[in-house]
Amino acid sequence: MAFEFRWILFISLVAASLAFILVGVAAGPGLGILKFIMGLLAILCDILAMASRYYTYLFDPLRKMKGKKLVLDSGDPYIMSPSGTAIMKRVGDLVYATVFVKIPIYRSGTEMEDQEKIDFATSFGKMLSIIKEPFRISTQLYVLNKDEYIEKIRAKLNEAQDKYNQIMNKEGGGTAKKEVAPEVEHLRGKVTMWRNMLESVSRAKSHSMMSYAMVSATGSSEEEAVNLAISKGDELAAGISSTYGISASLATGKEILQLIEPEQMIPIANLSSQISVRSGLKQV
């Protein structure tokens, strides 16, 4: 249907362009403005006609949504299994369960020689022949949430800063400060080290990449569906491990959320994007 609509639109725009050209040609010599306008309209129709051949699919959803009903589902899109190894969704009398297999492969095709690429593709074909269940392979790039790590660095920095200030403000004048000079220099170095580390860690976002395979199973109950999905996942992990010589395993808990939850892939707010390393840090 989209193909027919695209060509109907293309032919209509070309016909309109020809009509504008004919009107401009038929206009008398005293109607220069009309000829100019008709020429612009013809050019516009030609541009739209060419664009309609490649970008009509962008407008198909808007064209087809007229008269359609939009149904909002207030239910959860999925629930996590009690074991944290699968996600589940009940549809009618069936329960669909999906597990994710982590694939620890960190080499890119750009880093491989031609023969290595051939061997990798051959191994992939062998893996497909070993595993009979349909599955999906993908790679997910997500933003690391460094809040907890940054908080630890800030705590260490504040601790070193407080100790340094206490020694410097201790009574005893220059004699006391001279006696603790090695400790003062040690604390000064720690403050500088933690400040530099904080600046380095919070300067930019850090990303991590995880390759994974996804396989699903159905059952009449949640337990049955999850057990079948885990069985398929273990078989898939064994096939991937034996083919590539790696240790593939099932993802659990937060690892699964990092593959399917947008808030886990790109945290809405994290301290690393809000922190200003210059504020609140007193130079030593």
Structure-block tokens of residue 234: 């273990």
Distance (Å, whole) CA 87 – CA 100: 9
With CA atoms as reference, report the closest residue to 154 among 220, 214, 201, 97. 201
Chain-centroid distance, C-alpha 220: 33
Q: What average pLDDT does the structure give for the chain?
A: 78
H or E stretch covering 207: strand 207-219
Q: What is the dihedral of CA 110, 113, 119, 124, to 10 degrees?
A: 0
Asked whether the predicted pLDDT for residue 50 surpasses 90, the reply is: no
Strands (E) in 144-269, as ranges, are 207-219, 249-250
Structure-block tokens of residue 57: 């699919």
Asked whether the predicted pLDDT for residue 100 surpasses 90, the reply is: yes
Q: Report the first-to-last Cα separation within the chain, whole angstroms.
A: 71
At residue 57, the pLDDT reads 67
Distance (Å, whole) CA 228 – CA 236: 12
69-83, 113-127, 141-155, 222-236, range with greatest mean pLDDT: 222-236
At residue 63, the pLDDT reads 63
At residue 217, the pLDDT reads 92
Asked whether the predicted pLDDT for residue 76 surpasses 80, the reply is: no
**Where is pLDDT greater, at 181 or 226?**
226
For the chain, count helices (H), then strands (E): 11, 6
